[in-house]
Copies of this chain bind each other. A is one copy, B any other.
Amino acid sequence: MSYYEMNREQMLNEYYTTRARFEALAAEGLQIDMSRGKPGADQLHLSSGILDTVTDESGYITEEGFDCRNYGNLTGISECKRLFAEILGLDCEKIIIGGNSSLQLMFDYITQCMTKGVSSCPPWMQQGKIKFLCPVPGYDRHFSICEFYSIEMINIKMNSDGPDMEQIKEYIKDESVKGMFCIPKYSNPQGITYSDEVVRRIAALHPAAKDFRIIWDDAYCVHDFSDKPDRLLNIFPELIKNKTEDMVIQFASTSKMTFPGAGVSVIGASSRNIEGILSRLSVQIISYDKINQLRHARYFKNLDGLKEHMKHHAQILKPKFEVVLNTLEKELADKKIASWNIPRGGYFISLDVTAASALRVGGLCKEAGLRLTPVGATYPYGIDPYDRNIRIAPTYPPVEELKKAAEVLCVCVKLACIEAILNKNTNDYGGKIYA
């Protein structure tokens, strides 16, 4: 029964039952971490073999005859570029292989825009107040980069097929709007994949700012766990049709294919952007870790090899997502106090709660020994204007722990919502989740 259809007595009953459940759970002394999108230990084991691919016996020499142990090869070794070219659907010439962190590549690119500018425009640092569009909820580390450089962030509504294009088209009339962060496949946290139409509309944007840049963070490009995975339209052919190829810089990494701490990252971009990035990179670093590039190239061989590997991740992840989704369904569906997505890949479930109670949910979970992503973190400046979004990261805890975690979360959601309804001192939306 919906909480919003209960009378006060029913509600009080529900409160006492739920409070008792909460206290029982809290008394268990749990310590569960569901805060970040970290692969679990079982996932890490899947890639153990990668360490045996480059040894004295196998040699360190690339197919082109370079010794990976020494300096050189700034853009990456050719077999690794070919692998990523296949993943991203780009030519090898439009690819640079980085270190172990795509976040670093993004940070460094934004930094380059700040200090040197792009598209023959002045450095962003010399253009006064500048702004970025941020589809929300989104990834806190994207927002942190903007905040670090005092780039004003503008919330863009996410629809079920991607960011709201009408809003975007309005905002980009402003020349001080310099870019946008996108996670186009299995977005963090909603798990939404942009529709072909949205991708086409993004490629067809003509922002007032000539130096407008879209950070296309394809973090979950091969991270399907459903039998019917999402398919993201390759944006680059669309950009070329629209003569807007310089507008998008694509990023990806193997952090969630092999090891988050020791993977390989990649940039995909237009020839002009690659040239611009190299003019900085050639001053910043002599070469990234090519032995690790060789490990990845030898381990996966090609896209087929990688897809085969990702199936094993899927086998581990799918049950974890199901545990959480089943618990949400069982505990919350009929109460009409929360809504959530059912992702087909990626690393997160996005849960929206009514009654402006997300912060309270976070507090209760903490009391009960469950660590969530800090509530609010999915919005710029850590401020969720409706206090409703909770990012669930189900990948790290083992399944048994996760069952408990999902139960704790649901009980906390219920309790927070009941409290709010009973106290009525909140800006409750009467059980409706507004998009």
Contacts and interface: CB of A to CB of B under 8 A. Distances in A.
B285 A103 contact: yes
**Protomer copies:** 2
Given A39-B70, A103-B284, A284-B104, A291 B259 contact: yes
A44 B71 CA distance: 11
A366 interface: no
A363 interface: no
Contact of A51 (B54, B111, B147, B288): B54
Interface in A242-256: 255
A279 to B, nearest CB: 8
Nearest to A396: B70
Nearest to A125: B125
Contact of A44 (B70, B103, B108, B260): B70
Interface string A280-308: 10011111111110000000000000000
Query: Of residues A68, A70, A100, A148, which shows the largest number of chain B Cβ atoms within 10 Å of its Cβ?
Result: A70
A38 interface: yes
Contacts of A52: 55
A181 interface: no
Interface string A71-115: 111000000000000000000000000011101100110010011
A400 interface: no
Given A36-B71, A38-B71, A115 B104 contact: no
A261 B71 contact: yes
A11 interface: no
Contacts of A39: 70
A278 interface: no
B55 A69 contact: no
A101 B104 CA distance: 14
A101 B262 contact: no
Contacts of A148: 280, 283
Nearest to A146: B283
Interface string A333-372: 0000000000000000000000000000000000000000
Interface string A126-157: 00000000000000010011011100000000
Contacts of A104: 284-285
Contacts of A284: 103-104, 107-108
Query: Of residues A71, A284, A289, which shows the largest number of chain B Cβ atoms within 10 Å of its Cβ?
Result: A284
Given A44-B60, A148-B280, 16 more contacts: A38-B71, A44-B69, A51-B291, A68-B262, A69-B261, A71-B260, A103-B286, A111-B115, A114-B115, A115-B149, A125-B125, A145-B283, A259-B291, A262-B290, A262-B291, A292-B292
Interface of A: 36, 38-39, 41, 44, 47-48, 51-52, 54-56, 60, 67-73, 99-101, 103-104, 107-108, 111, 114-115, 123, 125, 141, 144-145, 147-149, 255, 259-262, 280, 283-292
Q: Lowest 3 CB-CB distances: which A-B pairs, in order? A: A69-B259, A262-B291, A107-B284
15 contacts: A36-B71, A38-B70, A51-B51, A51-B55, A71-B255, A71-B260, A71-B261, A72-B261, A101-B287, A103-B285, A111-B111, A144-B283, A145-B283, A262-B291, A292-B292
